Amino acid sequence: MAKQTSANLEAIVGEIPGPRSRALAESLRAHESRGVTYLADDFPIFWESASGALVTDVDGNRYIDLTSAFGVATSGHTNPAVVAAIAAQAQALIHGLGDVHPSRMRVALLSALARLAPGPLEKCFLSSSGSEAVDFALKTAYLRTKKPGIVAFEGSYHGLASSALSVTGIERFRAPFKPFVSESVTFAPYPSASASAAQNDAARSLRTVESALAGGCAAVILEPIQGRAGVVVPPRGWLRGLRELCDRHGAVLIFDEIYTGFGRTGKMFACEHEGIHPDLLCVGKAIAGGIPFAATIGTRHVMDAWETSRGEAIYTSTYLGNPLACAAALANFEQLERGGLVARAATLGAQLGARLETFRKNPGVVDVRGRGLMWGLELSSAALAFSVTKAALRLGTIVLPSGVRGNAITLAPPAVIEEDQLWRALTLLERALAQAEVVA
Ligand SMILES: Cc1ncc(COP(=O)(O)O)c(C=O)c1O
């Protein structure tokens, strides 16, 4: 039975997934590598279109998206200004000649990134995925220090290509590929501000990092807030502690802000909450409003560890600085800045956090944590997290399971989400929790 809701809210018109989604699932099963998409009778739905914070599936069901599609759509799905910039650029130049003959858009984008980046970060390397941005950062740190040892953190997620996987601290991704993951990585504990002994955990973590640096590690890579781990926010002062340790030991500090960057946490970059900056900053996801794009931005000193190109770059890729992606990113930055979306992520995020706190009364909710428009609900089990995800979908809102053990749900709505959409989606999520609790 179709339920009437207002045109800016969810509208579930039939069974979830509907017949078209199910038919597409069969076709996908036949032709996509089977390790990619989880297919079951009740999951997934196939997306047809999206706008702002609304997603419509191939069966005509409309959902409120609390994921921004992995944190990408901060300025909204198919943001009209981004769409217009892509369309205009597509008429002029879709693809350029990478590292050989640069496009004008690439120069404009590089300057914009240098302006937006915190502190003295001013030189960039452009790529197409977060994994690549991380790979470039790790290679840069090695060229600068000539030492392969790296400190990374338990629960971290930096991508799945081999070098990013080497610093990813979630065992289920690493275990099948042991021969490809570097052994020169030391994993330190990532402290959580939610833990009862948060400050002790932070001190213990810093001691582990310090002894690794004293033992020869020369780079530290981390997410200022861990995303895939279920949104883990470290205690205040810990990032600054890492900055001080790296300064003392001459180590390169790398912040992976692929998830947290471009306003997600209520500042343009999460490290700005502590008034510090890394030596290298990896960005991606929300950079270009949905076009695949990423970058590594660094201080001149660290980035100049790369020799000047003599005609053949030793690190580049076919789509480096793709003009379409540059145009999309520039339009997206304007939306974030002129549209006040970063400030909106802070103010709306505070209200979202307060509303989520009330979820603690549900016995399945173990923890609520986050900042800006990036929140995690830790639940009592992975089974519960997945059944809440499915129940929420059936009710008309999209959330993502996350967490090192799969027992969390991440909420990262677009910063353009309308208030009635956000509160409606939370009502649906609360209902989903109540339904799933009964089933689990
Ligand atoms: C913090 C962080 N780093 C790196 C990545 C990898 O980015 P990509 O999937 O674009 O390779 C992700 C993706 O989720 C991420 O959240």
- pTM confidence score: 0.97
Mean of pLDDT values over 363-373: 97
Would you kindly state where each structural domain of the chain is located, as residue ranges? 19-78+341-439, 80-338
Mean of pLDDT values over 381-393: 97
In the reported structure, the alpha carbon of residue 268 is separated from the centroid of ligand 1 by a whole-number distance in angstroms of 17
CA angle 216, 222, 225 (to 5 degrees): 155
Give per-residue pLDDT as tens, 123-142: 999 999 999 999 999 999 99
Strand order through the sheet with 62-65: 47-51, 54-57, 62-65, 397-398
- Which atom number of ligand 1 is nearest to the Cα of residue 156? 1
Give per-residue pLDDT as tens, 286-316: 999 999 999 999 999 999 999 999 999 999 9
- Please, is 54 exposed, middle or buried when counting C-beta atoms within 10 Å of its C-beta (0-12, 13-18, 19+)? buried
In the reported structure, the alpha carbon of residue 287 is separated from the centroid of ligand 1 by a whole-number distance in angstroms of 12
DSSP 149: -
State the chain's mean pLDDT as an integer. 96
- Which atom number of ligand 1 is nearest to the Cα of residue 159? 6
- Please, is 339 exposed, middle or buried when counting C-beta atoms within 10 Å of its C-beta (0-12, 13-18, 19+)? middle
CA-CA distance, 125 to 109, in Å (whole number)? 11
In the reported structure, the alpha carbon of residue 400 is separated from the centroid of ligand 1 by a whole-number distance in angstroms of 15
Does 228 sit in the ligand 1 pocket, CB within 6 Å?
yes
Q: Do residues 320 and 100 touch, judged by C-beta distance below 8 A? A: no
In the reported structure, the alpha carbon of residue 84 is separated from the centroid of ligand 1 by a whole-number distance in angstroms of 27
pLDDT at residue 437 in the model: 66
Q: Which residues contact 58 (CB under 8 A, 6 or more apart)?
A: 18, 20, 21, 24, 45, 46, 47, 48
Residue 344 has pLDDT above 70, yes or no: yes
80-338 topology per CATH: Aspartate Aminotransferase; domain 2 (3.40.640)
In the reported structure, the alpha carbon of residue 195 is separated from the centroid of ligand 1 by a whole-number distance in angstroms of 25
CATH, domain 19-78+341-439, list 2.170.8.10, 3.90.1150.10, 3.30.479.10, 3.40.120.10: 3.90.1150.10
pLDDT at residue 1 in the model: 44
Testing ligand 1's pocket by substitution, the residue of 72, 134, 158, 260 carrying the most ligand atoms inside 8 A of its CB is: 158
Strand order through the sheet with 280-283: 121-127, 294-299, 280-283, 252-256, 219-222, 150-153, 185-188
